[in-house]
Amino acid sequence: MPFIRTCVHKDTPAAQRQSIVDGIHQALVDSIGMPADELFNLVTDYDAQQFFYSRTFNGVARSDAVVVIDITLRRGRSDAMKRALYAGIAQNLEKNAGVAPSDVFIFMHENDYSDWSVGGGKFAMAIVQQVGI
């Protein structure tokens, strides 16, 4: 179950925010086989005094509307799957949300089942270990 934090410029309209969330989610489903019902994306916003970034880092020209996507998920995806995920997110956001690929920042954090509790205060590892339930 990936947990996503997406940060957008404060002037991003609600419909575009939804398209961004949908594009990220679809890329996760398509590239890493995430089940469609595993949607957990916390969207926050920033203004010019809250997010400072290079407009030219690594030779990429960025606008005032950078979208930062922070993905936390269980360890185990190959580099090829991650490349497909990053490309899919950038393509979906460009096509469906009007976000330039140069404005998409993606950060991945991997951990294990023991690092999660996804409801009821239960240790996720204990749930995974319940065979046949």
Greatest Cα pair distance, the chain, in angstroms, is 52
Considering only the top CATH level, what class is 3-128?
A: alpha beta
Angle formed at CA 75 by CA 27 and CA 67, multiple of 5 degrees? 40
Q: Two tokens at 32?
A: 């890493």
Compute the distance between CA of residue 133 and CA of residue 3 in angstroms, rounded to an integer: 24
Q: What are 117-133's pLDDT values in tens digits?
A: 777 777 766 655 555 54
Prediction pTM value:
0.88
Q: For residue 63, give the DSSP letter.
A: -
Residue 126, burial from CB neighbour count under 10 angstroms (0-12, 13-18, 19+): exposed
**What is the pLDDT, as a whole number, of residue 133?**
46
Compute the distance between CA of residue 128 and CA of residue 124 in angstroms, rounded to an integer: 6
Domain range list for the chain: 3-128
Q: Is the dihedral of CA 31, 34, 39, 43 positive or negative?
A: negative
Q: What are 77-100's pLDDT values in tens digits?
A: 999 999 999 999 999 999 999 999
